[in-house]
Structure 1
C-alpha cells in the first residue's frame, strides 16, 4: 500500500462572522514558491462564501484575508458559494464552485487574470428536473437505479417557490486544453461524468446538454467499484498531468453504521481521452482516522479538493469533518507506481 503522511490541520475556523462555523474544502494553486488557498467559509445558518489565505511553500501561512474574496451576489447562489476548485488555463484562472440557492446545488464558474478580481460566469451545468434528465438518458442508456434514488428528490417538484432541479456538483476543470478544447468533470450521483471538449463555454447550450444526455453512458468516467466508494463517488482535486496519465484524486463514499464515510481515492485517466480509465487504487488513498477527521460538523469526512506539487512530494489539502482544513503528503512517483500495479481490466 502507498504511504500517506497525515501532516495535521492547516486552517481552523475563526471568530470572524463569515467563517465562525467552519472552514473546509479548499481550492489550491501553486505560483512559484507560494500556494494560494481559496476555501469555503461557513457562517451561522450554513451560508457559505470564499475565504483566502496565502502560503509560503506548501504550509506556512503568511497572509489570511479577514473578509471573503467571493460572496453570493445572484439568486442562484443566494444561500452560498461552496467547495471551490481552481486551475489556470492559458492566462486565465478558472475557479469553479457549487452555487446553492437553498434548494438547488449546481456547478458555477468565476474567472480572473490576477487572483484578485473575479468575474462570475454563472451556472455551467444543465438546469433540468430529474424527470427531464431521466427522459433523456432512457433513450439510449440503461441508467443505474441509484440515479433515481439520489436525484429524484422524493418527487418534490417545487420547494420555497423554486423549481427543484437535478443536483450537479463537483465542477472541476482540467488545467489545460486537450486537443485545443476545454474539458471538465462534473458529478450527478452516483458517478463522475466528463464534458468531452468544448472550444468555449458558450457552446454549453440547452441543445448541447440534450445531445450530451442522449449519449450519457459514454460520458461516465468513473463509477463506484470498491467497498470504500460503494455508495457514490465525486470529483476531488483538479486532475494532475503526469507522463503516465491524468492523476485524479477524488472522493468515495460508503454507508456504515456510523453514517456516510468520505475517503480520498486515486485513479489514472488517459492523457488524450480522459474518458478512459487506466488504473485505480483498490483501497482508499486515505480515510478518516484522526480526531480532526472523525469529529466535526459532519463526522467521518476526508474531502480532497486541492493539491500543490513540490519536487516529488504531492501536498493534498482537504476538508476534515466539514469543519477544518488539513493536509497530507505523498510521493507522487510512488503513487503513480502503485496505480500502475492496479490497471483497469480490459
Structure 2
C-alpha cells in the first residue's frame, strides 16, 4: 500500500476554496451506528484514492470513526462497520474528531476521547487503517482553555502530527480554545512544550476567531518552506431568539520550521464560513469545521463538517490563487 504524504507545494494563503456544488458529499444513513450525524473527517491519499476517516453516530450521540474511499475526491464508498469504537472509560461516550499522519509505514490517528465530562486527546496506531492499537490519553492535568475559560479538569483536543522531524524530534500542534505544542522521541509518548498557562497561539479579539482557536488539518509545506495549517475559529453571535452562541469559521496559520513554536502569520479573514442550509442547521448549528486536507490530482480538497450533521468538501485549484482578479485587471 502506497500512501502519499500530506506535504506538498502550497502557497500562503492556500486557496481560494470553493465549496463543491453538490455538497454534502456524505450524510447519515440507515438505522445503524451512523444513522443520525456524520461529520469532521481526517483525510489522506492512499493508492491514488482519497480516504476519509469520519466521525458519525446514531441518536445516542456516541461517536465512532468510519472509513470511506473515493476515486475522484467527491464520490465516496463507505465501509459498513466503524474502524474505531469506544472501548475504555475515557472514551465511553465517543471516539471523536480524528486527524491522521502516515510516518514510516504506520498511521498515527489522534482523536478525542469523550466521557461526557472530559475531552481528552488520544492516540491510536495502525499499519492497515483497520486494526488499531490504542495508546490512551496523551496529556494529563492539561486544560487548553486555561487562559480563557478554565474547565478545571483535563481538557485537550485537536492534535496534528508533523510527519517529519524538526530539530531531531517529532512535533505535534494541539488544542481547542488556544493552541499548544508538544514533542516526542517515539511518536507515542508526548510532552507539552509549555504549561497550559502559556499557549503559543490564542484567539484574536474582534476577529472571526475571537471566541476560540483550534487546529484543523495536518500541515503542508508551502513553496517558501513554511508549515501551513488550516484552523478552526469561533466568533460570538446573537441568535434569532436573542440568546448568544458561536459560529465556526475556517482560517489558516503558517509556522517557520526554524521557529516551530511561533505563529508567523494568520489569514485575516476566514476562507470558509457557514452559508448553506447544512452549514447553518444541525446538531450544532452555524458550523463549518475542517479536519482533512489533501492534494489530489493537482487540486486541494478540504473536507469539513457542516453543523455536526453532514460532511462536505471545498476545492482549490493552484492555477487560480488569491489575487488572480487583481492581476487580470492590471
Alignment match, 2:204? 224
Tell me: CA distance 1:109–1:150, structure 2 relative to 1, closer, same or farther (3 Å). same
CA contact (8 A) 1:151 1:166 kept: no
Which of 179, 182, 187 aligns to 2:175? It is: 187
TM-fit CA distance, 1:267: 1.5
Tell me: CA distance 1:337–1:116, structure 2 relative to 1, closer, same or farther (3 Å). farther
Alignment match, 1:250? 231
CA distance in 2, matches of 1:23, 1:240: 26
TM-fit CA distance, 1:330: 1.7
TM-score (norm 1): 0.81
Which of the pair is proportionally richer in helix?
Answer: 1
CA distance in 2, matches of 1:221, 1:18: 36
SS in 2 for 1:167: coil
Alignment match, 2:280? 294
SS in 2 for 1:293: helix
Tell me: CA distance 1:54–1:103, structure 2 relative to 1, closer, same or farther (3 Å). same
Q: Which runs of 5+ in 2 are unaligned?
A: 1-12, 240-244, 325-330
CA contact (8 A) 1:253 1:262 kept: yes
1:122 aligns with 2:136: yes
TM-fit CA distance, 1:226: 5.3
1:239 aligns with 2:219: yes
CA distance in 2, matches of 1:67, 1:311: 29
1:278 aligns with 2:264: yes
Tell me: CA distance 1:181–1:149, structure 2 relative to 1, closer, same or farther (3 Å). closer
1:17-166 to structure 2, matched below 5 A, reads 17-61=32-76, 63-128=77-142, 147=146, 150-152=149-151, 165-166=153-154
CA distance in 1, matches of 2:75, 2:46: 14
CA contact (8 A) 1:226 1:283 kept: no
The worse-fitting range, judged by mean Cα deviation, of 1-10 and 109-118 is 1-10
TM-fit CA distance, 1:331: 3.3
Tell me: CA distance 1:305–1:60, structure 2 relative to 1, closer, same or farther (3 Å). same
Tell me: CA distance 1:333–1:267, structure 2 relative to 1, closer, same or farther (3 Å). farther
CA distance in 2, matches of 1:281, 1:226: 14
Q: Which runs of 5+ in 1 are unaligned?
A: 134-145, 154-164, 339-346
Q: Which structure carries more relative contact order (alpha carbon 8 Å, separation 6+)?
A: 2
TM-fit CA distance, 1:335: 5.6
TM-score (norm 2): 0.84
Tell me: CA distance 1:227–1:333, structure 2 relative to 1, closer, same or farther (3 Å). farther
1:316 aligns with 2:315: no
The worse-fitting range, judged by mean Cα deviation, of 272-281 and 71-80 is 272-281
TM-fit CA distance, 1:295: 1.0
